């Protein structure tokens, strides 16, 4: 699954991978590996932020152990990009079959501020104050242990999506330099982590052969100033967890 990541006009509220805004730490759904290829860097900013999920988990265990049960609770509301159902309930924190902790979440599917994904008028239950605090703690701890990579034209990186949380600095484009990345979600069945069934379903769903993937935007990626040409939507809820997360 290849996606062009560039600043895109024509979205009422720009957020996520089509905007210049700062991105908090998150995972790309439940995919195995994220590959990012830099076609063109921005004029300034845009560094990729990386943080070990295991280190983040261990630091939270040592400093705020009370947060762990909250993150592992199944009562988190994840919005599903206007599909039916409009949201699902699942944890943010999991363990593999052999005991490795990992996260699987995006604030864009959790917080009502992100109107690109969590649109007004859907009547989705808000997060509790405790859940918001837990989200902020994950962000703070991950940021403390993070490193940054500034990608240049021709650079290619691979990220273990479950072992590493990732985010992005805000950036600026100009007439000469405009950020344009290619993102590929990679799946290797032989080397993939053994996941609990509750999250394995999400991963399997990502790599299904679906003719219509709701919430995706059609535009000309070669246009130097791309605008949304058409928004693809569907009421098919068979893969409702595929709401965009970056």
Between CA 80 and CA 213 the distance in angstroms is 12
Q: 37: alpha, beta or left, given left = phi > 0 and alpha = psi -120 to 50?
A: beta
First to last CA, the chain: 15
Between CA 242 and CA 223 the distance in angstroms is 26
Any idea what the Cα angle at residue 157 is, between residues 152 and 161, rounded to 5°? Answer: 135
By mean pLDDT, which of 141-150, 187-196, 224-233 is the weakest? 224-233
CA distances 51 to 25, 124, 147, Å, are 8, 30, 7
Domain limits, the chain: 2-242
CATH 3.60.130.10 at 2-242, yes or no: yes
Sign of the torsion formed by the C-alpha atoms of 111, 29, 67 and 15: negative
Choose among 160, 133, 213: nearest CA to 36: 160
Where is pLDDT greater, at 151 or 232? Answer: 151
Q: Is 246:106 a contact under the CB 8 Å cutoff?
A: yes
Between CA 25 and CA 142 the distance in angstroms is 7
Average pLDDT over residues 155-175: 96
Q: Exposure of 42 by Cβ count < 10 A (0-12 exposed, 13-18 middle, 19+ buried)?
A: buried
Per-residue pLDDT of 51-84, as tens digits, reads: 999 999 999 999 999 999 999 999 998 877 656 6
Per-residue pLDDT of 185-228, as tens digits, reads: 998 888 889 888 878 878 887 777 655 555 555 566 666 666 65
Q: Is 195:64 a contact under the CB 8 Å cutoff?
A: no
Predicted local distance difference test score (pLDDT) of residue 111: 77
Average pLDDT over residues 34-57: 97
């Amino acid at each position: 699954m290849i996606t062009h990541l560039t600043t895109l006009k024509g979205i009422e509220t720009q957020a996520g991978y089509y905007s210049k805004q700062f991105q908090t730490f998150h995972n790309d759904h439940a995919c195995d590996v994220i590959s990012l290829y830099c076609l063109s860097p921005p004029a300034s900013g845009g560094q990729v932020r990386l943080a070990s999920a295991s280190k983040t988990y261990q630091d939270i265990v040592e400093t705020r152990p009370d947060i762990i049960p909250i993150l592992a609770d199944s009562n988190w509301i994840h919005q599903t990009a206007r599909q039916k159902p409009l949201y699902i309930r699942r944890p943010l924190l999991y363990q593999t079959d052999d005991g490795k902790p990992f996260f699987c979440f995006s604030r864009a599917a959790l917080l009502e501020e992100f109107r690109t994904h969590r649109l007004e008028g859907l009547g989705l239950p808000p997060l509790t104050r405790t859940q918001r605090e837990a989200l902020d703690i994950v962000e703070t701890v991950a940021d403390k242990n993070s490193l940054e990579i500034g990608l240049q034209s021709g650079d290619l990186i691979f990220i273990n999506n479950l072992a590493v949380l990732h985010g992005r600095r805000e950036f600026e484009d100009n007439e000469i330099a405009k950020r344009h990345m290619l993102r590929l979600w990679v799946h290797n069945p032989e080397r993939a982590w053994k996941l609990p069934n509750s999250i394995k379903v999400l991963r399997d769903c990502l790599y299904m052969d679906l003719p219509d993937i709701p919430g995706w935007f059609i535009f000309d990626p070669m246009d130097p100033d791309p605008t949304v040409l058409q928004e693809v939507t569907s009421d098919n809820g068979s893969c409702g967890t595929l709401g965009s997360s970056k």
